[in-house]
Structure 1
Amino acid sequence: MAALFAQADFPWWIAGGLAIELAVGRELRPHGDLDVLVLRRDQTRVRDLLATWDLYVADPPGRGELRPWPREEVLQPPLHDIWCRRAPKAPWSVQLMLDEVEGAQWVSRRDPDIRLPIDLLGRMSERGIPYLAPEVQLFYKAKAPQEKDETDFEAVLPLLTPLARTWLADSIKTTAPNHPWLRQLLSRQANVNSGTA
């Protein structure tokens, strides 16, 4: 996928658990598919890039109902989740996600007050593969964390910069003020501020 997306003339990032693994530099667990994040404004270009693929959109999102994504359709919010496979009988292998943007700012689908400059949205792996910044990926995972998300959180938390921890804590507080990750984020931030971390 990295080789295919290397041809893209738009920004893209590996997302999901693999983004966390690219951040920590090691494998944490098996993965069933690959998540790729692109900006909604670039959906026509990503559709062209995957022209030979079989693409379905989750409509409505989160309900498990898939329908074909016609080549000419421009997806509007809240549609953002596209399932991809190389051929109609092949297994699903890529989950493509569309995210919002205003000017030079990424805007969260969950709360438009949660933003980040697009140039801070991702990082680059040692192999030159762009991946979603771990604090942004953890923000997504915080919605309904499963065991795998807890594993990802524990693995990447020590690597987050003070700025990234603050952004993540503030973002989680906005959407889930009693989230269990907040205690660890704020505790680690206090240790950094006191010089004990």
Structure 2
Amino acid sequence: MREQLPAGGVELSPAEIEALDARWSSCWTPSAVARQLVGIETPWCVAAGWALDLFRGTQTRPHGDIEIAIPAEGFPEVRERFPGLAFDAVSSGRIWANAAPDVLAATHQTWLRDPATDNYLLDVFREPHDGDTWICRHHETIRLPYRDIIRHTRDGIPYLTPELVLLFKAKHARPKDQADFDATIPHLTTAQRETLTELLARAYPGHRWLADL
């Protein structure tokens, strides 16, 4: 699903994007996010690299930020849990500080910022969905019930199932994504490997990871 970007915002240069990394130095941990969201009705889960570490039960590498995924229509309930924070929308190298509702509706990624320090604490993906069915924003024919894509740690932290984390990472397959793939594959069940193989073949035919599965 391609976003039709709204007007406004600030276009960031590569150097400015790189400089933003320092503003994530005080980002939260999965446990801290879970404490903020305890009891909400909207399904949510830790995504990306942190999700793979939650799956494996230990932190395997440093994380420059933390991302969670939620159904787009559930964003208002999540937003209510973070009073006093600014919500900046980001997409394609642009950023909209204190994004207006129309900007939020036209983008899918939101950075929660502490106005006192200007540091970023949490990255929220507002995902497409059809009711209780999650829709992959990279390949909209991939649709799964939320109950099938969210797993939980022993202490109850929800995280995106590793097959889908790796599916998202396959798009760019940066060095850290390759490292995450190599470290995670040995821990997948046969069923998980089969699922990942099927999804990769559908979304990215001929992807180099298919040979390793």
Question: Aligning the two structures, in what range does the TM-score lie when normalised by the shorter sequence?
Answer: 0.7 to 0.9
> Which residue of 58, 79, 83 corresponds with 1:47?
79
Equivalent residue, structure 2, for 1:57: 89
> Which has the higher relative contact order, 1 or 2, with Cα contacts under 8 A spaced 6 or more apart?
2
Q: Where does 1:1-197 land on structure 2 (aligned, <5 Å)? A: 1-58=33-90, 61=91, 63-70=92-99, 72-73=101-102, 75-77=104-106, 79-87=107-115, 89-185=117-213
The 3 A distance-change label for structure 1 pair 72 and 48 is farther
Note if contact 1:53-1:86 (Cα within 8 Å) is conserved in structure 2.
yes
The TM-score normalised by the length of structure 1 is 0.84
The 3 A distance-change label for structure 1 pair 65 and 88 is farther
Q: In the TM superposition, what whole-angstrom CA distance separates every residue of 1:157-183 from its partner, at most 9, and x where no partner exists?
A: 122222222221122112211211111
Letter in 2 for 1:36: I
SS in 1 for 2:62: coil
SS in 1 for 2:84: coil
Give the unaligned 5+ runs of structure 2: 1-32
Note if contact 2:200-2:207 (Cα within 8 Å) is conserved in structure 1.
yes
Letter in 1 for 2:40: A
Query: How many equivalent residue pairs?
Result: 181
The 3 A distance-change label for structure 1 pair 70 and 48 is farther
Distance 1:70 1:80 in 2: 12
Distance 2:144 2:41 in 1: 21
Cα RMSD (Å) = 1.8
Distance 2:163 2:96 in 1: 31
The 3 A distance-change label for structure 1 pair 177 and 72 is closer
Letter in 1 for 2:95: L
- 1:8 deviates by 2.4
Note if contact 2:89-2:103 (Cα within 8 Å) is conserved in structure 1.
no
The TM-score normalised by the length of structure 2 is 0.78
